[in-house]
Amino acid sequence: MATQPQYSQAGAQAALDALLALLNTGGAGSIKIFDNTGSVPANTEAADSGNVLAQLPLSATAFPASATNASPRGAKGTANAITSDASADATGTALYFRAYDGAGTCIMQGTCGTSSADMILNTTSIVAGSTVACSSWTVTLPNGGS
């Protein structure tokens, strides 16, 4: 039998807040966007793969307290301001991102795309020297409510 634990709204928000607070460990964290010359690592403990296209610094407090999310029902964290990378490191097609704490530990990762991805970018075609910006980043955690 597959397990599908369910969490209360308070539990979902507490869990998401604890996860997102890890991005503040060791100082302000960052988001690195990687190209498609590698593959998305199997998990956050695996080595980076591909070339870093851009690195965007997070605010000293990456996320404020989470809020209730309507659909899917659960917790939603919306990042504080994310600083643009004024000069992309390389030219390539964005495939995935990793979010690191200030000490350089990967806390989370996901796919990049212009739709149906974990991080939505206005374009996945990044050119070296160009500005790469993330105007909004939202992370959700569902609960067991209806």
Residue ranges covered by each domain of the chain: 9-142
pLDDT over 70 (residue 59): yes
Residue 113 CA to residue 93 CA, distance in Å, equals 9
Residue 67 CA to residue 72 CA, distance in Å, equals 13
pLDDT over 70 (residue 2): no
Nearest by Cα to 36 from 94, 110, 88: 94
The amino acid at 99: A
pTM of structure = 0.90
Lowest mean pLDDT among 3-12, 23-32, 54-63, 93-102: 3-12
Residue 47 CA to residue 24 CA, distance in Å, equals 21
Provide the pLDDT for residue 146: 57
Pairing between β-strand 74-78 and β-strand 67-69 as defined by DSSP bridges: antiparallel
CA atoms within 13 A on the CB side of 45: 0
Provide the pLDDT for residue 30: 97
Pairing between β-strand 106-113 and β-strand 52-57 as defined by DSSP bridges: unpaired
- Any bridge partners for residue 138, and if so which? 78
Counting Cβ atoms within 10 Å, is residue 29 exposed (0-12), middle (13-18) or buried (19+)?
buried
pLDDT digit string, tens, across residues 93-143: 999 999 999 999 999 999 999 888 889 888 999 999 999 998 889 999 888
Work out the pLDDT band at 1, boundaries 50, 70, 90. low
Work out the pLDDT band at 60, boundaries 50, 70, 90. very high
pLDDT digit string, tens, across residues 63-95: 999 998 887 788 999 999 999 999 999 999 999
